[in-house]
């Protein structure tokens, strides 16, 4: 594999993958993107917030007022684990004999970033006086705490009255074939740290102690069995999952004095944060527990119903791949949850997600060419004069 043999999208994807931008590091990925966007006529605004690199870029088509289409994504990637577990170095992009582009970030989501940028460069060259505006919102804090990345940039945009009508997030949305699934919404995520207090003691004298594990077990069983809502046409029912339970000193002859439980709600638009909190509290109170909860809201649910953006994306996928796409709200959270608070229609469209966050992350190299064309045709449908 030599650089001259690569398409523009693959060449850029490899350049990005080769930079070890483990969250929250960016390692020059954004500077590379901004240089290309600046040459295409974008006004550039780097936003260094705490330890996080972000940028906002915008290009007006010169035809007056019109819709704003934003491409959003992240240059940070998750850690690789031991490099020796990989078939090829994770930060040395390779295309194997099966045509797979390998490297950390190939799917999540440096391949998408390359496809977005090349599609926009081509569109601007073909349609220099397009309708409305094209924007990029890029962060290096999506795979980490997500405090000083997209969320913080969105707050700055909100404060100065920036409008985003449509947003395409390059998250790997596809399941079995490119474009078979797009995300038109996400469930909300409400986490909690529950502390149940008892009384420490010797296991041989349980009458002198209060075992918080025993006391909490019926309440936890009731929380797990509770039917929170039925979902709706767009969202599955709200789910409750316990992820961690911790208690004890490590000794086998000590009744613990405290139990800590981590749990999470992934909730639909049929439930509210306040409603879930109140119902959980009522269950704990019914069991007479001495308890405390620290809540952590990661994001509210959002939904983009059929309309201009979803129609354009679906038509472009059909034209390029011949397949019909399925809108879905499944999966985890993404930065789309922050952008949607601006009243923006948000769709996530990217490559297959089969190997994201895994050793030997990879996608079909040819899929990036198709993804570039899908992004390009979406631009044409939404912004070409």
CA distance 178 to 165: 25
CA distance 195 to 143: 28
Is residue 246 within a helix (H) or strand (E), and if so which, with residue range?
strand 239-247
Query: Are the beta carbons of 82 and 355 closer than 8 angstroms?
Result: no
Query: Are the beta carbons of 147 and 324 closer than 8 angstroms?
Result: no
Residue 76 a catalytic site member:
yes
357 labelled as ligand-binding? yes
For tokens 């309309």, name the residue. 307
Q: Which candidate, 343, 348, 346, 353, places its Cα nearest to that of 317?
A: 348
Query: Are the beta carbons of 230 and 269 closer than 8 angstroms?
Result: no
Among 26, 121, 142, 162, the active-site one is: 142
CA distance 172 to 142: 14
CA distance 16 to 21: 9
Exposure on the CB side of residue 361, measured as CA atoms within 13 A = 28
At 231 the three-state DSSP class reads coil
> What letter would DSSP give residue 100?
E
214 labelled as ligand-binding? no
180 labelled as ligand-binding? no
Computed from CA positions of residues 204, 210, 212, 213, in that sequence, does the dihedral angle turn out positive or negative?
Answer: positive
Neighbours of 237 (CB within 10 A): 15
Biggest distance spanned by C-alpha atoms of the chain: 82
Among 26, 76, 141, 367, the active-site one is: 76
CA distance 382 to 345: 13
CA distance 6 to 11: 5
48 labelled as ligand-binding? no
171 labelled as ligand-binding? yes
CA separation (Å) from 64 to 38, 120, 131, 285? 21, 19, 8, 59
Residue 85, class by beta-carbon neighbours within 10 Å (0-12 exposed, 13-18 middle, 19+ buried)? exposed
Q: Which residues are catalytic?
A: 76, 142
- Per the annotation, binding residues for Zn(2+) are 74, 108, 143, 171, 357
């Amino acid at each position: 594999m030599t650089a001259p043999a690569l398409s523009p999208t693959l060449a850029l994807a490899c350049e990005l993958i080769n930079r070890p931008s483990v969250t929250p590091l960016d390692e020059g990925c954004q500077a590379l993107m901004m240089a290309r966007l600046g040459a295409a006529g974008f006004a550039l605004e780097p936003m260094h917030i705490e330890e996080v690199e972000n940028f906002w870029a915008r290009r007006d088509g010169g035809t007056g007022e019109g819709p704003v289409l934003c491409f959003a994504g992240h240059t940070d990637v998750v850690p690789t684990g031991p490099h020796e577990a990989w078939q090829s170095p994770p930060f040395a992009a390779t295309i194997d004999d099966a045509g797979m582009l390998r490297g950390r970030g190939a799917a999540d989501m440096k391949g998408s970033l390359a496809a977005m940028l090349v599609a926009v460069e081509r569109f601007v060259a073909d349609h220099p006086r397009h309708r409305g505006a094209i924007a990029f919102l890029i962060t290096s804090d999506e795979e980490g705490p997500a405090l000083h990345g997209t969320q913080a940039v969105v707050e700055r945009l909100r404060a100065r009255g920036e409008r985003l009508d449509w947003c395409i997030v390059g998250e790997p949305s596809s399941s079995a074939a490119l474009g078979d699934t797009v995300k038109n919404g996400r469930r909300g995520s409400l986490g909690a740290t529950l502390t149940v207090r008892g009384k420490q003691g010797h296991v041989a004298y349980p009458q002198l102690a209060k075992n918080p594990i025993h006391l909490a077990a019926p309440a936890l069983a009731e929380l797990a069995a509770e039917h929170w809502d039925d979902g709706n046409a767009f969202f599955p029912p709200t789910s409750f999952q316990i992820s961690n339970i911790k208690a004890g000193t490590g000794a086998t002859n000590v009744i613990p004095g405290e139990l800590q439980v981590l749990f999470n709600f992934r909730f639909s638009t049929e439930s509210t944060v306040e409603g879930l909190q109140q119902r959980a509290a009522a269950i704990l109170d019914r069991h007479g527990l001495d308890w405390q909860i620290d809540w952590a809201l990661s994001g509210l649910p959002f939904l983009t119903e059929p309309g201009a953006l979803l129609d354009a994306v679906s038509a472009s996928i059909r034209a390029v791949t011949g397949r019909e796409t399925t809108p879905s709200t499944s999966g985890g959270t993404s930065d789309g949850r922050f952008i949607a608070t601006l009243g923006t229609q948000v769709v996530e469209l990217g490559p297959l997600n089969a190997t994201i966050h895994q050793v030997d992350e990879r996608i079909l190299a040819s899929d990036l060419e198709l993804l570039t064309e899908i992004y390009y045709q979406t631009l044409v449908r939404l912004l070409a004069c």
